[in-house]
Structures are given as structure tokens and as C-alpha cells.
Amino acid sequence: DTLMNPLTYVPGDIASRAGLVAHRSVNDTSLHLGEYEDLKKSAVDPYISLRDAYLQRRRALISE
């Protein structure tokens, strides 16, 4: 994702880029808040469930 993001080609300070990355992360999380809440309610250990979901997604992205 970073290489395809045009903002990485524009010279600027690291703080500005970090702010943009943080904004994107918070925004993406807010768009999936309901899914996260459902995961927390249905899981015995939310951390392990979230970790497993992340690893599954990464494996799927790598295999594509």
C-alpha cells in the first residue's frame, strides 16, 4: 500500500506522513467498528480472536 500511495512520493517531513497514516488507520477502524464489537462479544479472548483474524487475512493476501 505504501508504494502505491502518492503521498509517499511528495517530499515532506515524517511527522506529516505519520499524521496521515494515523488518520487513515483511525478512519478505517471507525468504518468497521460494528464488526469489532461483534468479535469482542462473541469471543472468549478478544485478543486471540483478533490476532487470528489478522493472520487469516494476511495469509489470504499473500496467497493472492
Q: Is 41 helix (H, G, I), strand (E, B) or coil?
A: helix
Distance CA 18, CA 33 (A): 22
CB-based contacts of 2, cutoff 8 Å, min separation 6: 8
Whole-model pTM over 0.75: no
Distance CA 35, CA 38 (A): 5
pLDDT digits (tens, 9 = 90+) for 5-64: 776 677 777 787 788 888 888 888 888 888 889 988 999 998 999 899 999 999 999 998
Dihedral over Cα of 49, 40, 45, 24: its sign: positive
pLDDT digits (tens, 9 = 90+) for 17-33: 788 888 888 888 888 88
